[in-house]
Amino acid sequence: MGILDGKVAIVTGAGQGLGRIESLELARLGASVVVNDLGTQPDGSGASEELAQSVVQEIEELGAKAVAAFGDVANWDDAQRIVQTAVDTFGDLNILVNNAGFSRDGMIVKMTEEMWDSVIRVHMKGHFAMIKHTMAYWREKSKAQGGEPLYGRLISTASDSFLMGNLGQPNYAAAKAGIAYLTMSAARECQRLGATANVILPRARTRMTMSGPWAGIFEKPEDGFDTFAPEHIGPLVAWISSPQAAHVSGQLLQIWGKHIRVYEQPQAALDHENQDPWTIEGLDEVLGSFFEGKKPVDDGFMLPMG
């Protein structure tokens, strides 16, 4: 018996990378899985059904149930169809893991409108559309059962790119920031249904991390512990999806290797009320001393390991 026996999950971007790992982990624990993937390249181009079907086959070889869904998560109707696929095929929907996305990196001065729009669309609108249609299903289900709490888990995939403002990733960082706070808002709405919503910030070797200027950091070591193996992410997604995490919602959790980190929501570093209306001199007295000795933002990609 698995801790997710009888549960139904959708995993987007599940044809490879983190989505594939998470799909297999949920299936091992008893969940039936809708495997969504368009089979695109790292920049979002192209399409193939082969990847999603391959993961479905892997899940079935485990003795679990799975079905492929080839919709575009950022297309309103496709997102609704993906949700309906879970309900029609397995009779319910309990877990949504949003992974689908791609990166199109570039410096702001060289970034095109299309590069910006495409990344914002797949990440932010893709997360929103899937969350919207999942929560709409949960709301109707809750009403049908007299307002009784239901089993619901929303899991969004962000990145510490939004915490650090990675150089050369303004579109990706902005999208991931939007995902984080979209999910915080969803967590408040989910609470009325008995459901949860959380954000993971995985550090792992994926197509996106291996295509950037920091790819060397994520290279698989020749020997020893593989810190950035994507397999390390699966247990966290499974735990958030499980009954054990029923009290965990609105959280940002980061995992890599053997490390787990929970971020508090932004806290004020300075909170000062002046006796007099503000002047430039008054602001300089307060802010000048506060920022004195503080280092400006680093110029480059930062990967804090502490």
pLDDT at 294: 84
The residue annotated as part of the active site, out of 137, 161, 176, 242, is 176
In a domain, 240, yes or no: yes
Catalytic residue among 32, 142, 156, 159: 159
**Contacts of 184-191 spanning 24+ positions with Cβ under 8 A:** 184/250, 184/265, 186/131, 186/135, 186/154, 187/154, 187/249, 187/250, 188/250, 189/135, 190/135, 190/138, 190/152, 190/154, 190/249, 191/249
2, two tokens: 């698995």
Per the domain annotation, does 197 fall within a domain? yes
For residue 20, being part of any structural domain is answered with yes
Residue in 156, 172, 241, 249 annotated catalytic: 172
Any idea of the CA torsion for 242, 246, 250, 255, to the nearest 10 degrees? -30
Structure tokens at 124: 């932010």
Asked if pLDDT for residue 194 goes beyond 50, the answer is yes
pTM: 0.90
Q: What is the pLDDT of residue 300?
A: 46
Please give the tally of structural domains in the chain.
Answer: 1
With cut-offs at 50, 70 and 90, classify the pLDDT of residue 100.
very high
Q: 283-299 burial string, b = 16+ CB within 10 Å, else e?
A: eeeeeeeeeeeeeeeee
Give a yes or no: residue 100 inside a domain: yes
Tokens of 154: 């929303």
Per the annotation, the verdict on 176 as an active-site residue is yes
Task: Give the CATH number for residue 120.
Answer: 3.40.50.720
| Residue 227 included in any domain | yes
Structure tokens at 233: 């992410």
For the stretch 288-303, pLDDT in tens is: 999 998 877 654 444 4
Q: For 105-121, what is each residue's pLDDT tens digit?
A: 999 999 999 999 999 99
Residues 6+ apart with CB under 8 A from 121: 74
Domain annotation covers residue 89: yes
Active site residue 172: yes
Residue 127 lies in a domain: yes
> Whole-number mean pLDDT of the chain?
90
Q: Is 199 helix (H, G, I), strand (E, B) or coil?
A: strand
- Least confident segment among 113-122, 158-167, 229-238: 158-167
What token pair was written down for 72?
């575009």
Alpha helices in 12-125 (DSSP H): 17-28, 50-61, 76-90, 113-120
Is 242 annotated as catalytic? Answer: no
Q: Which domain holds residue 53?
A: 8-263
